[in-house]
Structure 1
Amino acid sequence: MTKRIKLNDDIIFGDPESPPVLLAGPCSLESRELAMTTASRMKEIAERLNFPYVFKSSYDKANRSSIDSFRGPGLDRGLRILADIKEKFSLPVLSDIHSPEQAEIAGEVLDIVQVPAFLSRQTDLVLAAGETQKIVNVKKGQFLAPWDIEQVVEKIESTGNHKIILTERGAIFGYNNLVVDMRSLVRMQETGYPVVFDATHSVQLPGGQGDRSGGEREYVRPLARAAAGVGIQSLFVETHPEPSQALCDGPNMVPLDNMEELLKEVKELDMISRRGGER
């Protein structure tokens, strides 16, 4: 049975009576204006469709392909933007940390502390995330088998924190390519913790454009539909008003104007999945 991880009275990961919790926003906090616009639009869409919603965006993209790649506003300014979003829109927020030193500082603002996929084996970082006692979202490394995530779970549990969610975001499949094994969603749920499907990073082509990553956003919809059919407790989607103009991960982000249609389909398939048995 999947644990229920409560963020607040309205957002419970693993609630069988609710659609998957939606984690959505731009890849990076490119600007305060972009963040506010996206948060406002996504809140409206989520409320119309009755999706529990958490705004996500990164204050620092520390794993960029090139030294010249855009990384974001940084810890201090980024957290101020996220705090403003919390206050203005009454939305919980998620962002990723990249060093143990960031965990405590970021944990003062974030409702969900995310461990990036590339860093999911970094013990000190994972422990620091757990010690915040916030919900910890671990993105399973592209290089890990689904059963390997159990070791990461044990590390977080050792801090006394049992508020854990686990994200599938594709596995390395040769050079500059990822593949999603839908069996991974089932296998990760055997940990007892809620599972998230990252529909946009799963279609990323890491380093596929030489000095930056490419992506195949046309596959976001079918993969999200497939994951909803398998059964998930949360859906992670990066979105942007104009992905072609985005400063990072544009090729795999969903245009903001397309989000409502995508979520309608996911919700319908999720309802069928839940009727078919306990997730």
Structure 2
Amino acid sequence: MINLLPSLKFSDSGNFFLMSGPCAIEGEEMALRIAEKIVQITDKHRIPYIFKGSYRKANRSRIDSFTGIGDEKALKILSRIGREFGIPTVTDIHAAEEAEMSAAYVDVLQIPAFLCRQTDLLIAAANTGKVINIKKGQFLSSGSMKFAVDKVKDSGNEKVILTDRGNTFGYQDLIVDFRGIPEMKSFGVPVVMDCTHSLQQPNQTSGVTGGKPELIETIAKAAIAVGADGLFIETHPEPENAKSDGANMLHLTLLENLLVKLVRIRQAVT
């Protein structure tokens, strides 16, 4: 991460880095509140931190699901968070034409798992010169993600991160194969474990994705133990009232205790 984001605080600490924040930007006050709390925690424990928030949710089960507060409004909130707290920010993009627009506001562009094979999207993201975080498709092997990495690097951008978020297991569940972390690290890029989306339970008959947040700690501990460079954890002060993915987010009050445990594991295995 030192070469990818030179401004990332504590990148020499030996800790894993953290991508964390709400699933979606629901409003300025909420986003600032979450960012301030996580910055306090990560500064205290010297954990490099990247604020995460989606400016728009394009992949929804139902047409009446929350998608966002407006692209420009949400992106400006992300930009403000980056400036006020002096931290990098990351958001997802969904189409090639969104890459340049989003790059004007954030430091890292994230490619959603379902779109990780979209060549035009990967090339457009690469051409911005930003760090590109590619989420592994639930339908792909870890080994096949080398081709996604190659698309970005062959476009002239060496700044790539890969994020695992589990594999489709039947119709309504996901399972994490931790062998994928060292396999993807062999491509010469940092590898992140998405500890919240990997616990989703999609395709519920209600049209609202379920989840198992009680297992976030289990997934996170295992990921650090096998060498993950970073963790992706969506968090919210009121997950039950979150407008997107509340069923699998970590309650904000639980974050520090979890990170303390994970820092100890990191120290033990390095």
User: So what's the TM-score if we normalise by structure 2?
Assistant: 0.97
Q: CA deviation at 1:157?
A: 0.7
**How far apart, in 2, do the equivalents of 1:225 and 1:179 lie?**
15
The match for 1:249 is 245
The match for 1:133 is 129
The match for 1:205 is 201
Contact 1:4 1:194 (C-alpha < 8 Å) held by counterparts: no
3-state SS of paired residue (2:62):
coil
Q: Looking at both structures, which has the greater relative contact order when contacts are Cα pairs under 8 Å and sequence separation is at least 6? A: 1
Q: CA deviation at 1:116?
A: 0.5
The match for 2:219 is 223
Q: CA deviation at 1:170?
A: 0.3
The match for 1:277 is none
The match for 1:5 is 3
Q: What is the aligned counterpart of 2:57 among 55, 61, 72?
A: 61
Q: CA deviation at 1:203?
A: 0.5
The match for 1:268 is 264
The match for 1:35 is 31
Q: CA deviation at 1:101?
A: 0.5
Q: CA deviation at 1:102?
A: 0.6
Number of residues of Structure 1 aligned to a counterpart in Structure 2: 270
Give CA-to-partner distance per residue, 1:176-202, whole Å, 9 cap, x none.
100000001111111011100100001
Whether 1:74 aligns to 2:70 is yes
Contact 1:23 1:236 (C-alpha < 8 Å) held by counterparts: yes
Give CA-to-partner distance per residue, 1:135-169, whole Å, 9 cap, x none.
00000010010001011011001111000010000
Change in CA separation of 1:240 and 1:43 when aligned onto 2, cut-off 3 Å: same
3-state SS of paired residue (1:147):
coil
Contact 1:5 1:164 (C-alpha < 8 Å) held by counterparts: no
Q: What is the aligned counterpart of 2:160 among 158, 164, 167?
A: 164
Q: Where in structure 2 are the equivalents of 1:151-190 lying within 5 Å?
A: 151-190=147-186
Q: CA deviation at 1:60?
A: 0.5
Contact 2:27 2:74 (C-alpha < 8 Å) held by counterparts: no
Q: What is the aligned counterpart of 1:105 among 83, 101, 104?
A: 101
**How far apart, in 2, do the equivalents of 1:85 and 1:239 lie?**
16
Change in CA separation of 1:264 and 1:236 when aligned onto 2, cut-off 3 Å: same
Any runs of at least 4 consecutive aligned residues in structure 1 with deviations exceeding 3 A, and if so which? 9-13
Range that drifts further, 134-143 or 17-26 = 17-26
Whether 1:234 aligns to 2:217 is no
**How far apart, in 2, do the equivalents of 1:55 and 1:207 lie?**
28
Change in CA separation of 1:30 and 1:10 when aligned onto 2, cut-off 3 Å: closer
**How far apart, in 2, do the equivalents of 1:12 and 1:136 lie?**
20
**How far apart, in 1, do the equivalents of 2:78 and 2:238 lie?**
21
Identity %: 43
**How far apart, in 2, do the equivalents of 1:155 and 1:140 lie?**
14
Q: CA deviation at 1:208?
A: 2.7
- Aligned alpha-carbon RMSD (Å): 1.4
**How far apart, in 2, do the equivalents of 1:193 and 1:54 lie?**
17
Gaps of 5+ in 2: none
**How far apart, in 1, do the equivalents of 2:189 and 2:9 lie?**
15
3-state SS of paired residue (2:232):
strand
3-state SS of paired residue (2:143):
helix
Q: What is the aligned counterpart of 1:24 among 10, 20, 29?
A: 20
Contact 2:126 2:157 (C-alpha < 8 Å) held by counterparts: yes
